[in-house]
Structure 1
């Protein structure tokens, strides 16, 4: 009868706030649903449009999220918003916190990647070696044949890039993603890396440390942040050189000799703190191979003259070093949003890996074996480089906003130089305390890192 009267008056009875349970009773202080780390689609299914603001205002529901819940009050004004859901069916983009623990596990990402992406084809890997070595010798022969100052700058740019491509193949040997044959990986790794003056095992071991500790302030090995204490202990010249382009792009040989500021050791010394006692024989082998290559270069300088060797090998080597420093730095810096670094209990392998950055290098992507597709590589270094793009596309739905889509490059990635310069101007050190930290800026250096 009451319903008929209300309908005749043009009114509808109010819907109940909670559906009637089949059994038992509902304790209003303990709601039947608590959603944390849910997707937008999940949140839309919550009956927030039925919540009265008077029921929930100024109550703590124990939700550990970076932004407070918001619901819509009876007068239609927003009270609180939930992860972009405004309670009326609309969406609002809110700031994403990259330091928040992800709602997925490493196994979830692994399961999303097709099984064939994990398969290592040694013949396919070898085909890239043959291709790159043929291009290297072809470029050198062409430059020596023409031998004029119109060709030399073009040769240096091209050959420096090819040296970097050769390094990436040796890098795959070091990860074991080249093939399942450890002897093949080791032999080719030594040949490829020694040819560009990289101690294969010495670098392989320190790079393994980098992957195992990526995103950790103290334990990371490659372009990790300086703590405020270490940063302030540096003299003014060192600070200026470290954060003023192009000097940081020449750091790799120094890193091989003495590591980064605040750390000690050498990639050539088998007794270095970088290595375990069981790894000393490997380090000695790599150092001997490096020495043999250096001796070969000295012999070639007598055979063809030091100037010719400088033009054919020396300048391209500098180009390779600049490529290596640029790419490895931008794997972990330069994004338009600040990305976290971790310490202590806040660090995990997954959270550290999710702070790495993919970059698009345009025409160079294929030449340097898609090394810019770096997030999935950091999480799963066993995946061969020729499967990284497919694996990344498959993992994106799981990663969600934790994956930052790279800006599309033109033919050549000139936009990344701007990313590097901008980062060098503001990313100087992190706090000595705190388990989740972000780069801070030294005002005295802010204007010194320039083009």
Structure 2
């Protein structure tokens, strides 16, 4: 097979995007697959010209013209630097050696980052309650043209509630496990998120991070799924393209309300969580509507809820989605590589980091979910000192989002991802639209 450029070599084919190097140079230097000499440009014109003068009877026909090249793209520091710039990353980590275990990484962390501090934990609750109350006040007073700003603040503040429930689910909020279950359930209620179903599924995400089939967070799309029907294909293209920053809504509906998705010993706790959520909907929503009307329900609850899902979707896809980060079958999966090498640290504006309790300092959280959110920065500093060259790091930027939304689509064993518009250009107008309209600056 003639060698093709993976998406990790040239991200976008539009005229607005410059390739990292010439196509021939990249293939000759880095391609990990079998390369056809003729199509990759490794047989130069002068050499072919000289071949014409070889007497025909002396020519030996060589049928196999493919030669294997060593798989070394991410092993080159210069190439990783070029990829990082092209994708919108600050750094792309070099591959973690196979002999490094997750225990090795955990043991390198200072013991104090695992310590639970009740004062710091309840401080996060105070920050979230105060910022959410301020957001509701802003919505009540803001003129119509400032409502989007009030919604953005309030949606970000209520995302902090999710992070508190997230710590409770990982048993890193309090030493009292009953307190954790109560606080976690209450923190999730404004989001209509059932605490126990989410906890069970999220534990699997940590145990099987970036494992095909088993990971309960977002996978790449499967090729047979993409080809199964025109209607599903269109839904997938829109969902993983222009609507990707709200795809967590679909995930929320599909994963958390179906009792059949849970083990027998989990069902009782799942039912309790679902009862709490439905009670909140049955009591809270009518009260909001009674006091403020349907438009008040939209202003005070629904729009901030959409803001929360924007962050839920954005954070989740940035944490584990990039052209160079592979999803692997279970037999080839390595825990240390998935958690240290397959997780992304991303810096956001300071106000977002404060309201969301540093959830995007995400690599140490995947090294050990028992690290409380208020200790994640100290843990990340330790990881930088001991394992810094293996880390994937970025600051939020448009190029990073454009890479994820227009490239990271269908699973491919060799390339990790194939973009929709490569497989079905006639159906992928939403993707070409994003390539044209999304900014490309990092």
Scaled by the length of structure 2, the TM-score of the pair is: 0.72
Equivalent-residue separation in structure 2 for 1:142 and 1:439 (angstroms): 42
Cα displacement (A) at 1:205: 0.9
Equivalent-residue separation in structure 2 for 1:368 and 1:226 (angstroms): 29
1:164 aligns with 2:159: yes
Greater C-alpha radius of gyration:
1
In structure 2, which of residues 121, 130, 137 is the aligned counterpart of residue 125 of structure 1? 121
2:205–2:215 contact (8 Å) kept in structure 1: yes
For 1:283, the equivalent position in structure 2 comes to: 270
For 1:395, the equivalent position in structure 2 comes to: 383
Equivalent-residue separation in structure 2 for 1:156 and 1:184 (angstroms): 30
For 2:240, the equivalent position in structure 1 comes to: 243
1:99–1:340 contact (8 Å) kept in structure 2: no
For 2:104, the equivalent position in structure 1 comes to: 108
Describe the SS at the equivalent of 2:344: coil
Equivalent-residue separation in structure 1 for 2:93 and 2:163 (angstroms): 32
1:98–1:340 contact (8 Å) kept in structure 2: no
1:269 aligns with 2:270: no
Describe the SS at the equivalent of 2:234: helix
Equivalent-residue separation in structure 1 for 2:407 and 2:258 (angstroms): 34
Cα displacement (A) at 1:141: 2.6
Cα displacement (A) at 1:423: 1.7
Greater per-residue helix proportion: 2
Describe the SS at the equivalent of 1:381: coil
In structure 2, which of residues 130, 133, 137 is the aligned counterpart of residue 134 of structure 1? 130
For 2:315, the equivalent position in structure 1 comes to: 327
Residues 404-443 of structure 1 aligned to structure 2 (within 5 Å): 404-407=392-395, 413=396, 415=397, 417-431=398-412, 434=413, 438-442=416-420, 443=422
Scaled by the length of structure 1, the TM-score of the pair is: 0.71
For 1:256, the equivalent position in structure 2 comes to: 252
Describe the SS at the equivalent of 2:128: helix
Number of residue pairs matched?
Answer: 343
Cα displacement (A) at 1:338: 1.4
In structure 2, which of residues 217, 223, 226 is the aligned counterpart of residue 222 of structure 1? 217
For 2:332, the equivalent position in structure 1 comes to: 346
2:343–2:392 contact (8 Å) kept in structure 1: no
Sort the Cα spacing of 1:427 and 1:143 in 2 relative to 1 into closer, same or farther, 3 A.
closer
For 1:187, the equivalent position in structure 2 comes to: 182
Cα displacement (A) at 1:166: 1.2
Residues 7-156 of structure 1 aligned to structure 2 (within 5 Å): 93=78, 101-144=97-140, 146-156=141-151
Sort the Cα spacing of 1:67 and 1:316 in 2 relative to 1 into closer, same or farther, 3 A.
closer
Equivalent-residue separation in structure 1 for 2:388 and 2:245 (angstroms): 32
1:256–1:267 contact (8 Å) kept in structure 2: yes
- For structure 2, the 5+ residue unaligned runs are 1-69, 81-91
